[in-house]
Structure 1
Amino acid sequence: MSSDIFVNNKMYNKFIIFYFPTIFLSIFISIKNQKLKTKNEKKEKQISIT
């Protein structure tokens, strides 16, 4: 029983080590893209105003 938990814990740690950076990166990229979108929209609005 305890060995089972230990193995699961190891797997879980591996999972975190491998997937946390990729999740973080994807969130970071999506936020960057969102900022770029709003910048472009602002530019378009300025162009349409002039």
Structure 2
Amino acid sequence: MDAGHDMDTPGDDQTAPDSYLLQLWPAPPTADAILQQVSENAAYWHTVPAR
């Protein structure tokens, strides 16, 4: 996530340095949980209140 943030938008001859896998499945509602955090950018956004 940090490398993607640093690059911002890849040029025509570049590929994005990051990719993400988002998996959803049915489950009863529960509180949010951060299972893994490995970037400084994510750490920052985890401190910003949701709107």
TM-score (norm 1): 0.22
Bigger helix fraction: 1
Which entry has the higher C-alpha Rg, 1 or 2? 1
Greater RCO, 1 or 2 (C-alpha within 8 Å, sep 6+)? 2
